[in-house]
Structure 1
Amino acid sequence: MPRDPTQRQRLLEYLESHAPARARDLEAVGVSAATISRSVQSGDILRLGRGLYSLPDSTPDTHETLIEVAKRAPKAVICLTSALAFHGLTDQLPRRVWIAIGARDWEPKITYPKIRTVRFREPYFSSGIEDHQMGGATIRMYSIPKTLADAFRNKRLVDRSVAIEALKAAIEQRKATPSAIAEAARTYSAWNQMRPYLEAVTSNG
């Protein structure tokens, strides 16, 4: 008996606009588990992780990976370089999604997208969080002033040159005021590290 071409076509069309997709999402549009399995075996689609599929030539954009992480780790907060990239303050596209969790939280086990987990104690973890609604998920993200403070405070995790360029971009693009950035730096123990660079950027403005 020939295979059902309609299901395969439906599968490929769905992944064209929704990759990566979960098995339950595919089944909801009428694609059976058997069709998914055959398509993986034939190389038509890729299995990225348990119950997660994509097309071989598709590269999910940054927002798609953030959405996926938010759905799998809803309590985590996007931080550091990933937050800088989201806010448009760096050209660097991290290979992994940087997420912060509380000092005693369970570390999420996510196979896709790749993540880099850091533990923030209080008050660094729970403050300065924004909620962004995307793709049916709530993405918890540190605000620009908080992210800049974290970048300067964690020089082992964020190269100082990246933090400085992000600081310049935030002020030049008027995405945050110098006073708001300075307040966050003081609040989150980054003022000594950030102050000379903030003063230099604002004096040149």
Structure 2
Amino acid sequence: MATIELAPAFTLDDARATGLRKDQIYELLERGEIERVGRGAFVRPIAVDPAFATIAAATAVNAAATLCLTSALVHHELSDAIPFATDIALPRGTRHPAGFAHASWHSFDAATFDIGREQIDAGEGIKVSIYSAERTIIDAFRLMHQEGSDVAHEALRRWLRRRGNSPAALLKMARSFPKASPRLRVALEVLL
């Protein structure tokens, strides 16, 4: 039984579709050839970058899963935080997958869910979604009551230090988020 037929991140149903039985899946687990990340969600550890294992497995369960907030800030090097769990967004009204011990689930408005959503490679060609640096900064300001004002302001400061970033483009994207736009405008006025 070869794990090569399995995608780098897959569900139990995906494994069954390749012809594997449940007992064979458990045998692969025991041998360490695959790891369980959530209920019915697995990754091949040699195929997936460990930093993206949780989001890759979440994407196997629901393609809309998107890396967000602190996890995205760290990926974009806008924060030095060490998140306890991977922050993953799904459209509001979508059921969060069960059994993910290292995931912090967030529900974002379906109307703005795709704004700033990008794809990155998580290993062996598997694509996972992440919010752009700009969208993540907007979310940090929008959810300042949860994330903390210091996190949002530090991320903005770091982003402004980089060449090629446009505060005008950031404000244009922020117009879609009425709660964040005024806070972000004030912070930019102070920092610029």
Regarding TM over 0.5, the answer is yes
Give runs of aligned pairs for residues 28-177 of structure 1, distance below 5 A: 36=28, 52=42, 61-109=50-98, 111-112=99-100, 114-135=102-123, 136-174=125-163, 176-177=165-166
The number of equivalent residue pairs is: 174
Q: How does 1:186-201 map to 2 (within 5 A)?
A: 186-189=175-178, 190-201=180-191
Give 3-state SS (helix, strand or coil) of 2:118's partner.
strand
Q: Percent of pairs identical after alignment?
A: 26
User: In the superposition, relative to structure 1, how do residues 131 and 93 fare at CA in structure 2: closer, same or farther (>3 Å)?
Assistant: same
The 8 Å contact of residues 41 and 58 in structure 2, kept in 1 or not, is answered as no
TM superposition shift of 1:159: 1.1
Query: How many Å apart are 1:47 and its aligned residue?
Result: 6.5
Q: Give the AA of the match of 1:197.
A: A
Q: Secondary structure at the match of 2:57?
A: helix
Q: Are the equivalent residues in 1 in contact too, given 2:42–2:57 (CA < 8 A)?
A: no
RMSD across aligned positions (CA): 3.4
Using the alignment, how far apart are the partners of 2:10 and 2:94 within structure 1? 27
Q: 1:169, CA displacement in angstroms?
A: 0.8
- Structure 2 vs 1, CA of residues 120 and 21 (structure 1 numbering), >3 Å: closer, same or farther? closer
CA distance 1:35–1:62, shift in 2 (3 Å): closer
Report which of the two structures shows the higher radius of gyration computed on alpha carbons. 1
Asked whether the equivalents of residues 130 and 140 of structure 1 are also in contact (C-alpha less than 8 Å), the reply is yes
TM-score normalised over the length of structure 2: 0.71
Unaligned runs of 5+ in 2: none
Contact 1:103–1:119 at 8 Å: present in 2 too?
Answer: yes
